[in-house]
Structure 1
Amino acid sequence: MREVAEDYVEVVLDLVQRIPPGRATTYGVLAEAARERTGKGSARTVGTVMAQYGGGVPWWRVVTASGAAAERVAGRAIELLRSEGVAMTRHDPPRVDLTEAGWEPWEDGSQM
């Protein structure tokens, strides 16, 4: 895996920490928010940050644009999301219903 700048890692982890229980967001939304603060990054870079450093934050609340959990952790992520009452679709495997449970960093009114 590639190296990611420490400041970017900190921003992404801070954003993930702010996702409330019962909600989820996408790699792309996090990338957009991180770009507002750092001027750099992409959804793929957010995925790299989560894979390398995400163990100490609620990583299961970060999903793909389709609402699917990351493939390598999907079973555990779905279990944790369901335990928090996150709205899920009827897909197989299930996905987060982002229209119901989607979270965006700017919706809580706090400064980015």
Structure 2
Amino acid sequence: MRTEYVEAVLELVALIPAGTAVAYGDVAELLGSGGPRQIGSVMSHYGSAVPWWRVLKSNGEAPPGHEREALALYLNEGTPLRGSYLDCLRTGEGRWRVDLAAARWAPADADFDRIDAIAGRLERELHKLSAPDDEMTV
């Protein structure tokens, strides 16, 4: 996976505020590049330095293998949840998920300015990498 793409995904994820969340596909749409699987791959390999728990499956499930840690972070941030998350805290049992309809991040105009800058930089970098040598010197 291209370094430029990884950096753009991580930079965008770092913008997601506490108490909100997005689906993998939302990140791809905001970037205008890739899809949910590519975003998931970036997050699973490189996402530990950004708020990874704020990017999840479109059904609101936490990243696989990180459910308990993510639950504690969601509760700390006040992220809207659905299901028996209290049972999960007490007994380790219970099914829950982020209420993505209520928690989905709605970027403000200033956020869109930053997102557009990230997406534009990514597009330029990817175009530069795919351009023939003679086009790069123009």
The interval holding the TM-score normalised by the smaller chain is 0.7 to 0.9
Task: State the match for 1:51 in structure 2.
Answer: 44
The answer to whether 1:84 aligns with 2:84 is no
The answer to whether 1:94 aligns with 2:87 is no
What are the ranges of 5 or more consecutive residues in structure 1 without an aligned counterpart?
Answer: none
Q: Distance in 1 between matches of 2:5 and 2:67?
A: 25
- Counterpart of 2:30, as a letter, is A
Task: State the match for 2:105 in structure 1.
Answer: 103
Secondary structure at the aligned position of 2:5 is classed as helix
Secondary structure at the aligned position of 2:105 is classed as coil
Length-normalised TM-score, structure 2:
0.70
- Using the TM superposition, give the Cα deviation of residue 93 of structure 1 relative to its aligned residue in structure 2, in angstroms: 2.1
- Counterpart of 2:26, as a letter, is V
Relative to its length, the structure with more helix (as a share) is 2
Q: Distance in 2 between matches of 1:98 and 1:50?
A: 18
Q: How many residues align?
A: 103
Length-normalised TM-score, structure 1:
0.85
Task: State the match for 2:30 in structure 1.
Answer: 33
Structure 1 ranges of 4+ moved more than 2 A? none
- Using the TM superposition, give the Cα deviation of residue 67 of structure 1 relative to its aligned residue in structure 2, in angstroms: 0.5
Q: Which has the larger radius of gyration?
A: 2
What are the ranges of 5 or more consecutive residues in structure 2 without an aligned counterpart?
Answer: 85-93, 117-138
Q: Distance in 1 between matches of 2:46 and 2:108?
A: 25
Matched-pair identity in %: 39
Q: Distance in 1 between matches of 2:2 and 2:95?
A: 34
